[in-house]
Structure 1
Amino acid sequence: MKKALYQFCQSKFKTLSSGRLKLSALLLRLHHEYTFGEIKGDYLYFNEHDRMALIERVRFENGVHLLREPFPELQSRSKIAQHQRNEKVGSYAVSQDFILVNCLKNLRVNHQQTPISPITSLGLYLKADDIISVEHPQIVFVENLEMMANLAQLDIPDNLQSALWVYRGDIKKQQSTTTSYHFFRRFKDTNQLICFSDLDPKGIEIAITSGAHYWLTAEDTSLVDIELHGDEYEWFKQTKTIKYLQVKTDLPEKCQVAFIDMCLNRKTLKQEHMLEHRIKLGLFEL
């Protein structure tokens, strides 16, 4: 989240946990970029879950608590080294400027083609700000790291053979989600954006808040009930997200169907299951 929107949210939601606010440019931006609340007439209505989901999202993106900490004014180590002996003080992780990408064919960015290694790898780390254009027709936002090394084993639609795959990152500082989210959304007007997430409540939330045009998921979402050994734990760890989806009135059709299948079975399916069981994946509009 950018500084202006961060500070706006701090001023509005530090004490107000639910209610309605008169629409403004920043509220519209918050709604569109973070799927925050619902717009009715000239007002944006929100509840406690919307507020908590926003706090969690900002924690993923910026590494701080939205309502308790100031906007993180960190710099790169090279900039700090201009005037400090200790280049690590007040710095962000070196890898924060980079994104992990992979593809099944040649990498095509900035009107150049680069061969991908024939040896199995997670992909290439590239400096996000250096990428001006992406000549792949689709950009796929990937939730779990293992998928990045196994793209060829996924049962994907044929039109994704030429896609660029971007790893979302996680909450660890060295793999921040902030840069990948910003990179992904930057190309919303020039490329087809696709979110590939787990088949679980959190996966639906990631898909609808990612800025993607389509969700890549199992064509048959009833496969959450596929026969597997062991007990199901993930469903019961996602209570907040389940409640959020239960009251959300504008879920895309495929997300509704998937959520119903999860609720009926009280089970989830991870991307690793889709990979190992060769589950057929399809694209569904968000």
Structure 2
Amino acid sequence: MNKRQLEVLRRQIRYWRDEVTLNPSWRAICDEFELQERIEGSLIRFQFKDKAWLREQAKRSGYGDLLLDDAPTGHRIDAARSGLVNEKLAPVTPEQQYVLLTSQGGKLPCAGVEKLQPRMSVRVAIDDLALALIDVLVIVENLDVFDHWHCTNLPAELGTAVATYRGHDSVAKGVCHLIERLPQTVQIVVFPDLDPDGLKIALTTPKVNSLLICDFTDDLIAVGSSDDFNKQHQAAKYLDGAELAAWQPLWTELKKHKRSIKQQHMLAHKVELRLIPLTK
């Protein structure tokens, strides 16, 4: 069971109901504990003896005593120490506590690193970072571009900036956790693909100050994908209704070209990148 399903079962055992609606979580629970005979149409109808039986089966399956034990807290090692067999049910994932960092010059004083070789990065616990030593944080959308950060044609003011990989889902949560912890004086820069999804990522990043992006060139427009642009219609709709401030001219021009220009092409063509502050 996943965390959601486990919590559904925990609530049922603690606050017993004779029948519940059959939904995806309950279907997974029925599959795990072979409760198919209790299913009647869109409902699951229990007998009272099922409460003790389900409680015991959950114990045997390593989920703990759902009647007495609270939901797991902390990270996976904490959950393992508590005796939980499935440590992945812990609410804090590894990606939420750590971030990948690099810098073009190779120095990361915030992580106590004097020199990184090109294409090297460090994975650091957010709690161990000297946050006061970060002046500029650049959030990079794609991992392979982050790995080639040393090749990026940056404006001079970002030469010593700390770069981090944004990632997806739980990885992105780690970056958001870092942003929450940073002093208000830190400049937050987002470097995305130049397309609707990329601009939406930038606009919805907490505390964002600036966008790092390229100018439209004939070469980049030629390799841009109209198919990918058209697939991002939901992000385009979001941007049309959003307050884009100083980014509005960029969005207007992007809609004119109807191209998705990837970060990888920006690096391959060695184009100069520039900062566009959100507010002038």
What is the TM-score normalised by the length of structure 1?
Answer: 0.65
1:117-136 equivalences under 5 Å are 117-118=116-117, 120-121=119-120, 123-136=121-134
CA contact (8 A) 1:139 1:193 kept: yes
Give the fraction of aligned pairs with identical amino acids, expressed as a percent.
24
Aligned to 1:84: 83
2-side partners of 1:234 and 1:184: how far apart? 29
Indicate how the Cα distance of structure 1 residues 244 and 120 shifts in structure 2: closer, same or farther if over 3 A, else same.
closer
Find the counterpart in structure 1 of residue 268 from structure 2: 276
Counting only pairs closer than 5 Å after superposition, residues 186-201 of structure 1 correspond to structure 2 as 186-201=181-196
Shift of 1:169: 1.3
Residue 98 of structure 1 contacts residue 128 of structure 1 at CA under 8 Å; is this kept in 2?
yes
Once the 2 structures are TM-superposed, how far is the Cα of residue 245 of structure 1 from its aligned partner? 1.5
In structure 1, runs of 5+ residues without a counterpart are 1-71
Contact 1:98 1:125 survives alignment (8 Å) = yes
Q: Aligned pair in 2 of structure 1 residues 145, 244: CA closer, same or farther (>3 Å)?
A: same
Report the counterpart of residue 145 of structure 2 in structure 1: 147
Aligned-pair distance for 1:107? 0.8
**C-alpha deviations, 1:30-56, integer Å up to 9, x for none?**
xxxxxxxxxxxxxxxxxxxxxxxxxxx
Instruction: Determine which structure has more spread, i.e. the larger CA radius of gyration.
Output: 2
Give the letter aligned to residue 83 of structure 1. Answer: S
RMSD over aligned Cα atoms? 2.4
Runs of 5+ in structure 2 lacking a partner? 1-70
When structure 1 is superposed on structure 2, of 154-163 and 123-132 the one drifting more is 123-132
SS at 1:81 equivalent:
helix
Report Cα offsets for 1:130-157 as digits up to 9, x if no partner: 2242424211111111122212211110
Output one character per residue of 1:246-265: Cα deviation in whole Å (capped at 9) or x when no partner: 222x2122x22221222112
**Contact 2:195 2:261 survives alignment (8 Å):** yes
Contact 1:101 1:126 in 2 (8 A): yes
Cα gap change, 1:194/1:223 in structure 2, threshold over 3 Å: closer, same or farther? farther
Which range is displaced more, 200-209 or 155-164? 200-209
Give the corresponding residue for 1:137.
135
| Contact 2:99–2:126 under 8 Å retained in 1 | yes
More helix by share: 2
2:103–2:150 Cα contact (<8 Å) kept: no
Cα separation, 2, equivalents of 1:241 and 1:125: 31
The answer for the alignment partner of 2:42 in structure 1 is: none
Amino acid paired to 1:115: E
What residue number does 1:213 align with? Answer: 209
Shift >4 Å, 4+ stretches: 222-225
Q: How does 1:241-252 map to 2 (within 5 A)?
A: 241-248=235-242, 250-252=243-245
Structure 1 CA distance for aligned equivalents of residues 183 and 210 of structure 2: 11
The secondary structure found in structure 1 opposite 2:96 is: helix
C-alpha distance after superposition, 1:220-256 (max 9, x if no partner): 2365852228x532111111111121222x2122x22
Q: Deviation per CA, 1:188-229, whole angstroms, max 9, x where unpaired?
A: 5131111111111111111122121111111x2365852228
2:199 matches 1:204: yes
Partner of 1:167: 165
TM-score (structure 2 length as normaliser): 0.66
Amino acid corresponding to residue 131 of structure 1 in structure 2: L
Separation (CA, whole Å) in 2 of partners of 1:93 and 1:213: 28
1:18-37 CA-to-partner distances (Å, cap 9, x unmatched) read xxxxxxxxxxxxxxxxxxxx
2:174 to 169, 175, 179: 179
